[in-house]
Structure formats: structure tokens, C-alpha cells
Amino acid sequence: MSHLNKSGIAALALVLSACGSGGGGASPPVASASSQASSMASSTSVSSSIDSSSEPSSSHSSAVSSEPGDFDISSVALTQKLGIGWNLGNTLEAVGGETAWGNPKATPELMQAVKAAGFDSVRIPVAWSQFSDPANFIIESAWIDRVEEVVNDALEADLYVMMNMHWDGGWMQPTYAEQDYVLGRMDALWEQIALRFADYDERLVFACTNEVMVEGDYGTPTEEYYTVQNGYNQQCVDTVRATGGNNPHRFLAVQGFNTNIDHTLSFFTLPEDPADDKLLVEVHYYDPYNFTLNNESQVTQWGDEAEDLSKTETWANEAHADEQFGRMQERFVDQGIGVILGEYGAIHRPNIDHHQRYQIYWNEYITASVLEHGLVPVVWDNGVTGNTGLGLFDRASAEQAYPELIEAITGAGVNP
């Protein structure tokens, strides 16, 4: 998710900060699931303005490697290493700074706790628009340093890392009117990011965008919208591949429209890539919306174990999940293209006695089904452990807030 925690509208924000601009699998509550005034700086002037903050890192992280052999596996093989993932949500993607949305700064202890809980990878959403030179989109050196510090903490905890370019105020609109502006800004940002992390090994995956959509429009995308969005994926691939170091063969995750599975299957075009077998496709899943994200809904039970049908949805049960993930497997995994389910989750509703049972079952079933179909499950954690939140860990103490729920997720691959 990306933006509904920005305005300070507490209850709604805590729910919809789950996935981005509304949820890649969950268009609320449908059953199937602003123009910028700045002129675009030329790529030449942007490149000449990039300062030492974007030069290849001299970090002592064990992930810094110039050995191309580290990348001699396919994207599908990489998904086996990514295993079960966890999201550092509502943190580095918070517009206004790392703690602007209410979470404390991420710590090495948190990453170690995530690893100890049984997770194999971490997705780190990032808002990169903290600029020292806004006209040329030059990232403030202190900010890229901080992002790298968190990436290193995760890698040193023996976690694979997927680092993206998140919602960040919604500037990435997929329209012809905004296209040139967005392409220029993306190029400038990804060049700096890629240069900074150029020598990191295959354990660092770049994810090009998040849930790109026209703000507020959850319907089927027009040809304009999905054509422009596909172009943003291509721009990311082109920019990263041109930066040297390990980036010519780095694994990159590219996104379907709004990361919605149906839209991805209908409208996604895999970017052209000079590297072989180094692209992954990312989608998200929050079906059914009324159970997973809508805190005002009376839908508080889910699946075959439901005891009161009046408290369930009439769609998006186990069979629906299996079908959706099966379609992604057939279209991509079986064709040699790895797939990441970059977000999924269901909110806490502790005020409803029976809800946690079904929340645990939903997370366990979805995780197991994702794994069974060869995808990478990456559960969303927004750091909010109270009512309507999706937090799994106490971010301040790094303790598990919901051990039974965490065990259901990390143990799902043992007995799917």
C-alpha cells in the first residue's frame, strides 16, 4: 500500500496503509478484484548533477560483491531463496521521514527478530523524494545513507532484501499527460539508487515501483493507463542495466497494473531486458477486501471453517485464492519467470471475539497456497499492532506481537 496513512485520519489510515493506493488485489469493495508543474530536467543535466551520495557504496556489508557468479541462477531459482518474506511497512516509505507515520526507526534488532521468527526475506518500501536538489531530483545524501544502513541491517541478519520505489506522494501517475515527467524523475532516481548499490550481490533485489494506478481509480485500466505503466517498468530496467557494477545482471521485480492479479494477467507486458532470466513479476493480494482491510465491515469470518455464513463473503474463498495463484503460476512461473506476492494481509480486530481465528486461518492458507504455486509470499506489516492494524512485531522492542499468527505464516510452507 502507499498513501492512506498520510493525512492523519487515524482509523481509516491505519487500515488502508496496508498496501499502497488501495491494494493490488483488493479494489474496495468490488468483487473482482494532478499534474506536476515542474519541468523535466534532461537526462544529461540530471546525470551531471548526481553527487558522491550515489556513487557505489564502500559499505562493509557482506552483500557487497563484484563476483558475477553470485547471479548465476534464474529468477525462479531466486524465489526459492526468497522463501517467506516480511514487509518493513510504514517506515522508510513514510512521506516526511522514517518516523512520520508513527513507527520508530528500524533497528538491527528488529531485523534479527524477523529472521529468528522464520522469515527469509524482507521487502523495504522506500519514498526517495528527500532531495538536496529538487529541480534535478538529487537524493539527499543523509537519506540514501539511512536507507543503505537499513538494507545492511537486514542483509547482516541473513535476510534477502527487496527494495522498491513506493507511493511517495503519488507522483507516478500512468497518464500521457504525466508520462514524460515521470520517466525523467524515475530515470534520475533509479540511476542514483542503482549506482549506490551497484556492488551489492544477488541478495538485494530492486523492485521498480509499487501500486501504480491513476489516483482513486480502482476500475479496469484504460489502454492509456496500462500502456504508460508498462513503460515505467521498461524505464526502470533500462536505467538500472546501464549503471554498471552488478546491476547489468541484478534481479529486478516489475509490477502489474496496481499489482492487481487480474489486471496483470490482462495487461502486463514483460520489459525487454538484455539480461537473461533476471526479471520477476510482482502482484499483491487482499481478497476479500471486506475481510482483509475494511474495518467497518460485518465480514469477520472466512473460508470453509466459517460457522456463520452471514459473516462471510460470497466470493474470494480458498478456491478463489488457489485459482488466482494458479493463474500466475501458469502464466509466469511455468514459463520461467519468478513471481513475488509483494503484499498480503488481514487486519487485526481484537474487539471481535472470533475474528483472530479466521485471521490466522486466512494468513496460513494464503501463505501455503502461494508457496504451493511457486510464488514468494511477503506479508504486509505496517507496525500497528492494535485494532485495524497489520503489525506482527512491536517495532520498539522487536518482540513478536502475535506469535501464533507469525507461526501460522512462517510454518505454512512446512505442511501446505
pLDDT score, position 61: 63
pLDDT at 394 over 60: yes
Q: Which of 106, 112, 156, 109 is nearest to 126 (CA)?
A: 106
| 252-255/204-207 β-pairing | parallel
| 131-133/138-139 β-pairing | antiparallel
- Lowest average pLDDT, out of 39-43, 210-214, 342-346, 348-352, goes to 39-43
* DSSP label of 341: E
Burial class (CB in 10 A: 0-12, 13-18, 19+), 372: middle
Would you call 42 helix, strand, or coil by DSSP? Answer: coil
Contact 53, 192 (CB under 8 A): yes
pLDDT score, position 33: 38
How many Å is the Cα radius of gyration of the chain?
Answer: 20
pLDDT at 42 over 90: no
Question: Per-residue pLDDT tens for 147-197?
Answer: 999 999 999 999 999 999 999 999 999 999 999 999 999 999 999 999 999
pLDDT score, position 322: 98
Question: Per-residue pLDDT tens for 346-389?
Answer: 999 999 999 999 999 999 999 999 999 999 999 999 999 999 99
pLDDT at 43 over 80: no
Query: Average of pLDDT values for 245-272?
Result: 98
Fold for domain 10-33+42-410? TIM Barrel (3.20.20)
Distances (CA, A) of 38 to 187, 269, 389: 15, 29, 36
Burial class (CB in 10 A: 0-12, 13-18, 19+), 304: exposed
pLDDT at 4 over 60: no
Question: Per-residue pLDDT tens for 80-112?
Answer: 999 999 999 999 999 999 999 999 999 999 999
Phi, psi at 357, each rounded to 5°: -55, -45
- Lowest average pLDDT, out of 37-46, 163-172, 203-212, 232-241, goes to 37-46
Place of cell 487482499: 286
pLDDT at 390 over 60: yes
| 121-124/85-87 β-pairing | parallel
- Lowest average pLDDT, out of 269-273, 327-331, 410-414, goes to 410-414
Structural domain boundaries in the chain: 10-33+42-410
Q: Which of 206, 286, 288 is nearest to 240 (CA)?
A: 206
Contact 115, 180 (CB under 8 A): no
pLDDT score, position 53: 60
Query: Average of pLDDT values for 239-248?
Result: 97
pLDDT score, position 413: 73
Q: Which residues of 67-95 are buried (b: 16+ CB within 10 A; e: fewer)?
A: eeeebebebbebbeebbbbbbbbbbbbbb
* Residue 38 CB neighbours (<10 A): 12
Question: Per-residue pLDDT tens for 298-308?
Answer: 999 999 999 99
- pLDDT-derived band of residue 18, with 50, 70 and 90 as boundaries? very low
Which long-range contacts link 354-360 to residues 24+ away (Cβ below 8 Å)? Answer: 354/300, 354/301, 354/307, 355/300, 355/301, 356/405, 357/305, 358/291, 358/300, 358/301, 358/302, 358/303, 358/305, 358/306, 359/405, 360/404, 360/405, 360/408
Which long-range contacts link 401-404 to residues 24+ away (Cβ below 8 Å)? Answer: 402/348, 404/360
Burial class (CB in 10 A: 0-12, 13-18, 19+), 28: middle
pLDDT score, position 70: 73
pTM, to two decimals: 0.89
pLDDT score, position 31: 34
pLDDT score, position 414: 67
Contact 18, 272 (CB under 8 A): no
Place of cell 513507527: 103
Active centre residues (catalytic): 211, 343
pLDDT at 40 over 50: no
How far, in Å, CA of 119 to CA of 83, rounded?
7
Angle in degrees, CA 160, 162, 165, rounded to 5: 160
Nine-digit cell at 52?
558522491
Distances (CA, A) of 394 to 182, 351, 359, 397: 36, 19, 18, 6
